Amino acid sequence: MTIFDEAIRLAISAHSGQTRKTDKTPYILHPMEVACIASSVSDDLDLLTAAVLHDAVEDTAVSVDEIAAKFGDRVAQIVATETEDKQDGRPPEETWKARKEDSLQRLKNCDDRLVKILWLADKLANLRSLHRALVKDGEAAWGYFHQSDPKEHYWYYRSVADLLKSDLGGSPAWDELDALVERVFAGRI
């Protein structure tokens, strides 16, 4: 069994019972989609393993140390670089902007292509989900998030796409992210 197979098992267990905010589907579908998108850019096994585990530290009881012990330091480092600091003790609505600014700063300072591919895959999967929610539920979909202002989401997704462009621009996944940022937020900003 590969580390990727083991990562799928851990992710299924860790995310058991969780659902996505936008469509209430089983949460595990998101990390699997992220791994699929990442695989369209790279076949690196550490990257694909990290993609499946990318939300485990942020949204479950799994720790970076546990990931390192089971999957190696490289996988743990990729996951950790994309994991937001939840700033426990404060409501997520109050910390949304600070968390996004911190994340963008880490991405800006990152020179690791695999981390950038994970960011691309995660944000593209999130934006696809947001687009589907807006088609299905209209403007009420913004109420699913800790930040309900579309202008703030546009700022964040546009910033991510722009930061990834120099390394990943021209890849089909980046092209889709770039186009979807404009389509989702057209008329909303």
> Residue 90: which pLDDT band, with cuts at 50, 70 and 90?
confident
**Residue 89 region, left (φ>0) first, then alpha (ψ -120 to 50), else beta?**
left
Please pick, among 44, 59, 66, 152, the residue that the annotation labels catalytic: 59
- Choosing from 6, 23, 44, 58, the catalytic residue is 58
What is the C-alpha separation between 152 and 59, in angstroms, rounded? 22
pLDDT digits (tens, 9 = 90+) for 152-161: 999 999 999 9
Nearest to 107 by CA among 166, 61, 27: 166
Tell me, yes or no, if 59 is annotated catalytic: yes
CA-based nearest residue to 122, from 60, 58, 188:
58
How remote is the C-alpha of 20 from its chain's centroid? 12
Domains of the chain, earliest start first: 3-185 (1.10.3210.10)
Provide the CA 13 distance to its chain's centre, in angstroms: 19
Structure tokens at 123: 């944000």
pTM, 2 dp: 0.95
Model pLDDT for residues 56-88, shown as the tens digit of each residue: 999 999 999 999 999 999 999 999 999 987 767
Q: Which residue has the tokens 């687009």?
A: 131
